[in-house]
Amino acid sequence: MSKIDKLKAELAALRPLSPGEVRRLREEFMISNTYDSNAIEGSTLSLRETALILKEDITIAEKPLRMHLDAIGHRDAFEYMLTIADPNDILTEKRIKELHTLVYMNDGLNKGIYRNLPVSIKGANHAPPQPYLVAPQMELLAMDYITMKKDMHIIEAISNFHLRFEGIHPFIDGNGRVGRLIINLELIKAGLLPVNIKFSDRRKYYECFDCYFEENGSPDLMTELIAGYEIEELERYLEIVRYCGMH
């Protein structure tokens, strides 16, 4: 955590990138993030195919329409997330439902609405709460998160929120993508950089949930995962800013 705070301070002290440079980096990140987040949920679109859909409006032959819509929905939700990343904005259930509405654009009946059916999480022993418990548990989580941000480092608070959010599994589908967008929303609001949990790291990502729900209730693995990604992003961004400052 101290390393993240140090890198954040270093970045704040440097001359910022131009709006054009920031826009280019954000677009590259958005495409990678859309690819990885959807791949974790089962999409078979490649990174290049995802870029073609999002940048060129090209339809990929033999790939389901749902995967195209998932990519477009995630992009729209990511762009909306950037517009609401105000440090003074409280994370509310309304905000969460707005993100889900964009992510889950291909389902007019269920987008932005808490589930009214019981669900199970594939490959996990943890059972999400029954539908009638979803709304009260989400209300409690939103309230608890306000306290967590006061009592913990922001990375720890975000990690705890993410674990609990995915455990509640409030929507019929799209929980993982929305949950990872919330991570980035809260990081940006805290003056940090968005992180991309990679498809290649999905096993490590799933282990964070196993550790929390099935073993000792510890959020440490998730905190370490998100902190590691944040350090990588800060160091990469610092390198780019320094390079641009010399040229």
CATH code, domain carrying 44 = 1.10.3290.10
Distance CA 23, CA 136 (A): 39
Residues (pLDDT < 50) of the chain are none
pLDDT digits (tens, 9 = 90+) for 99-138: 999 999 888 889 999 999 999 887 677 889 999 999 999 9
Query: Cβ contacts of residue 169 below 8 Å, gap of 6+?
Result: 115, 119, 121, 128, 175
- DSSP letters spanning 47-62: HHHHHHHHHH-PPPTT
Structure-token pair, residue 188: 């940006």
Closest Cα to residue 77, out of 112, 109, 43?
Answer: 112
What is the pLDDT, as a whole number, of residue 15? 80
Distance CA 219, CA 167 (A): 12
Closest Cα to residue 179, out of 118, 91, 71, 49?
Answer: 91
Phi-psi region of 119 (alpha: psi -120 to 50; beta: other; left: phi over 0): beta
Distance CA 214, CA 174 (A): 23
User: Residue 140's domain spans which residues?
Assistant: 2-246
Distance CA 247, CA 242 (A): 9
Closest Cα to residue 25, out of 11, 44, 38, 7?
Answer: 11
Q: Domains in the chain: how many in total? A: 1
Structure-token pair, residue 22: 């920031």
What is the pLDDT, as a whole number, of residue 247? 57
Global pTM reads 0.95
DSSP, collapsed to helix, strand or coil, labels residue 235 as helix
